[in-house]
Structure 1
């Protein structure tokens, strides 16, 4: 049996909801939070809960295999033996915060138990990445009802991924971290969110022609412009488009913005000190912030928990 590598959280910098609608997306691994398989002779209460959750996931994989619908085959006997031997997934990735807690778990299970697994270090061709995304999406559907597979893919590859369309994605280099005053940061809403209800709200909104038009003509334009500017390290157009994107989300995605964040969201747009956007599906968890001056932003956000993730 292989050793127990670490699996990192992920952050979708750009593309929340847009990638469902064929906008671009950019997702990066975030190693501040991580998870790994561990074993204890006597399971603690937390480890016991994890072990029990893994048994449920094991049953899901077993049923998929029996139905003939599984996109990958797993060494289920090895998985069963590990669970009987008190293995659990020890993770610091907060659940319901939009940073890939279920993605890291799916990546870890695929890496450890998949037969004929695609090795990210040996071959990360576009075909393999697409195949991995489908397999991992089927696995993560256990948690969310439906999954694009993007979160576990990032957690598995441990590399930034640029999504250009539903069928075209690949690894990408992001600019070296700067030592400037600007920053990308996480802002804690103080409560977890649930993915499925938020996705359901979005799919309902997509039935409205006016909302579809906003997504197609405005969201995609600002979102894709942000990605292009960020990858070039060009901060002026980045912040110009971030302001438009933040305002558009504020006006059109109100149910997804945690209630505790709404005044702060508006304050950012009005002061230009920072701009907020959804981190994952929203409804709770973290919100993502971008600022040209992190010290100034922290002053305005005093009393709220911020976490620096990248210097601009």
Structure 2
């Protein structure tokens, strides 16, 4: 048995903001992927994955939901016979490792599933997002459902608000000098503690004001610029966003990277932002000159996501 492939995702813009109903833009990232497989003798990662799937089965079997039902008998049998999720998506890196797993389980075991091939109305997209939020909360405590949705559809998704999401197109890549890239912090980031820090900060009125007046404004402008291909304006807004994140989301930025972040803002050779919830994993970088950015960041592992 080998299931279809499900890809990683990158939330280009909107981390934390989407919890509070501002815009977000997520794109599939095909460098990493996963699929359901089966083996008789499981060892190492495959064995761990199989044990995790057994726990996930128990969780799904207690779900009392009107919007989704699963073929639990088949799922239990397949897990008992050595099913695991074979994935190259790094865990705790903010690129949707649990999202791809959730998408694969929904695809194989949901009994009345919404398929990728049908006309995906706004209602259907919202229903899918709700289902995935329900499923993925097993892994994160609280999930927006966006990672699995992105992985399941393998399309860029524009989040206008909690109640308004749509599949979207992004400008095709150009062979220019500019790039979006990933910087590897070489630390694992845990989603739940980071979200808890954020929720605690939200109790502070000043932080809430900053979020709605600065963070969300710059995020929305970045999304608009990116989708329209307004590259000059995009970099102006990404710089503003990078500044706001450094000033207000320090606990989510690994301390070893505060200086590197600052250096980008001072030289204008690259700008950094959070990729997912932060705390480790990948940091997202934007640059108008990738070769120059690579020289500055030669001590770190970089990975290309998109070219301008």
TM-score interval (norm. to shorter): over 0.9
What's 1:285 paired with? Answer: 281
3-state SS of 1:284 partner: coil
Residue of structure 2 in register with 1:271 after alignment: 267
Q: Does 1:236 align with 2:232?
A: yes
SS state of the match for residue 245, structure 1? helix
Match of 1:114 among 88, 110, 125: 110
Residue by residue over 1:6-26, the C-alpha shift from the partner in whole angstroms, topping out at 9 and shown as x without a partner, is: 000000000001111111100
Aligned to 1:225: 221
1:175 partnered with 2:171: yes
What is the DSSP-based 3-state SS (H/G/I as helix, E as strand, rest coil) of the residue aligned with 1:23?
coil
Local SS of the residue matching 1:108: helix
- Alignment correspondent of 1:77: 73
By how many angstroms is 1:101 displaced?
Answer: 0.4
1:306 paired residue among 279, 287, 302: 302
Establish whether residue 59 from structure 1 lines up as the match of residue 67 from structure 2.
Answer: no
Residue 70 of structure 1: how far off its partner (Å): 6.0
Matches within 5 A, 1:89-238: 89-238=85-234
Q: What's the offset of the Cα at 1:45?
A: 2.1
Structure 1: stretches of 5+ with no match in the other structure: none
Alpha-carbon offset, residue 44 of structure 1: 2.4
User: After TM superposition, which residue ranges in structure 1, 4 or more long, deviate above 6 angstroms?
Assistant: none
CA contact (8 A) 1:71 1:138 kept: no
Aligned-pair Cα RMSD in Å: 1.0
Choose which of 228, 238, 242 in structure 2 pairs with 1:246: 242
Structure 2 partner of 1:7: 6
Separation in 1 of the partners of 2:90 and 2:4? Answer: 19
Classify the secondary structure of the residue corresponding to 2:171. Answer: coil
**TM-score normalised by L of structure 2:** 0.98
Distance 2:212 2:79 in 1: 46
The 1-side partners of 2:134 and 2:304 are apart by 32
Normalising to structure 1: TM-score of the pair? 0.97
Q: Any gaps of 5 or more consecutive residues in structure 2?
A: none
Say how many residue pairs are matched: 308
Deviations 1:226-263 (A, max 9, x none): 00110011111000000000000000000000112111
